[in-house]
Structure 1
Amino acid sequence: MMQQIYPQVQHPFQFELNKDMHIAAAHYIPHEDAGKCQKVHGHTYFVNITIAGDELDESGFLVNFASLKKLIHNRFDHSLLNEHTDLFSDKDSNYFPTTEGVARAIYEVIQKDLNTKENKPKCVQVFVRETPTSYVVFRPKNKEEQV
């Protein structure tokens, strides 16, 4: 069992859920400043997704945990992240599959799905640990998306 303490995000919602998962994936960073990371290599990413909202769905969930795992784990686990060209690019540094880029991509996939739900939950934070000593927290900048 994974037990970690994550940075807290302030939000105005009544409910908050967190989903932890591991994703084993490979990537490379297509830039000369990436050093050894220019070569294909892998990580076991530890991901925590924070979703908040005021309304539960007809099943009594803010979001079903299994649906989050299906969206993220099933999509990225045991894959080469660079091949997810709908989310990552080898040309635009804003979309390289760095830890920052992975966190943002996970947010985008989740929020796109949440936008289809009647109870309109919001993804307020994505935490991605790439190594035991390095992690990134992504929070959407546009406060309008969170309210």
Structure 2
Amino acid sequence: MMQQIYPTIPHPYAYELNKDLQFAAAHYVPAEEAGNCRKLHGHTYFANITVAGDTLDSAGFLVNFSILKRLIHERFDHTVLNDDRESFDDQHPDRFPTTEVVARTICDIVQRYLDGTENKPRCLQVYLRETPTSYCLYRPKAGDGR
């Protein structure tokens, strides 16, 4: 993966880590306004996940990088995103597998895992590049339950 500088978010935490990963997946956007994106097509997605916290776990990690990769790569790589009915839905626009919704979904998956850890770090942002010229940055709002 090409090294890249990502937008940062100010935060009060002592530690911040970033995990880059990629996955290949197909999708379609079931909306008339999506134009050609209504047709099944694929991307090689590049993601950067930012996690921050004040306390390390018993292994000295904020979170193990390999866990972040497993959570996202193993779930989405070489899939049709629309088939993941736990995450996406063809009836509700806020659950169509657009870049925005996929970024939010990645954040939610990571945060659910982090909530179950002893040190409880936070997923502060997900940067998701869908094409060489298009990306989305998702940052959960404080207190939104994500």
The TM-score, its normalising length taken from structure 2, stands at 0.97
> Could you tell me which amino acid in structure 2 is paired with residue 109 of structure 1?
I
Q: Which residue of 1 aligns with 2:29?
A: 29
1:15 matches 2:12? no
Q: CA deviation at 1:5?
A: 1.1
Offset, 1:141: 1.2
**Matches of residues 123-138 of structure 1 in structure 2 within 5 Å?**
123-138=123-138
**Could you list the per-position Cα deviations for residues 125-147 of structure 1 after superposition, in whole angstroms to 9, with x for gaps in the alignment?**
0000001111000000125769x
Match of 2:110 in 1: 110
Preserved contact between residue 122 and residue 145 of structure 1 (Cα < 8 Å): no
RMSD: 1.3
Counterpart in 2 of 1:42? 42
What is the alpha-carbon distance in structure 2 between the residues aligned to residue 97 and residue 47 of structure 1? 15
- C-alpha distance in structure 2 between counterparts of 1:68 and 1:20, whole Å: 9
Rounded Cα–Cα distance in structure 2 between residues aligned with 1:32 and 1:13: 43
User: Runs of 4+ in structure 1 displaced over 3 angstroms?
Assistant: 143-146
1:77 to 2:95 alignment: no
Does the CA-based 8 Å contact 1:129-1:136 persist in structure 2? yes
Cα drift, residue 120 of structure 1:
0.5
Q: Which runs of 5+ in 2 are unaligned?
A: none
TM-score of the pair, normalised by structure 1: 0.96
Offset of residue 10 of structure 1: 1.1
Whether the 8 Å CA contact 1:30–1:90 is kept in 2: the answer is yes
CA distance in 2 between partners of 1:52 and 1:145 (Å): 17
When residues 34 and 144 of structure 1 are mapped into structure 2, their CA distance, relative to the original with a 3 A threshold, is closer
Structure 1: any 5+ residue segments left out of the alignment?
Answer: none
Q: Distance in 1 between matches of 2:53 and 2:59?
A: 15
> Which whole-Å deviations, capped at 9, do the CAs of 1:71-124 have from their partners, x for residues lacking one?
000100000000111111100001100000100000110000000001011000
* Number of aligned positions between the proteins: 146
Give the structure 2 partner of residue 88 of structure 1: 88
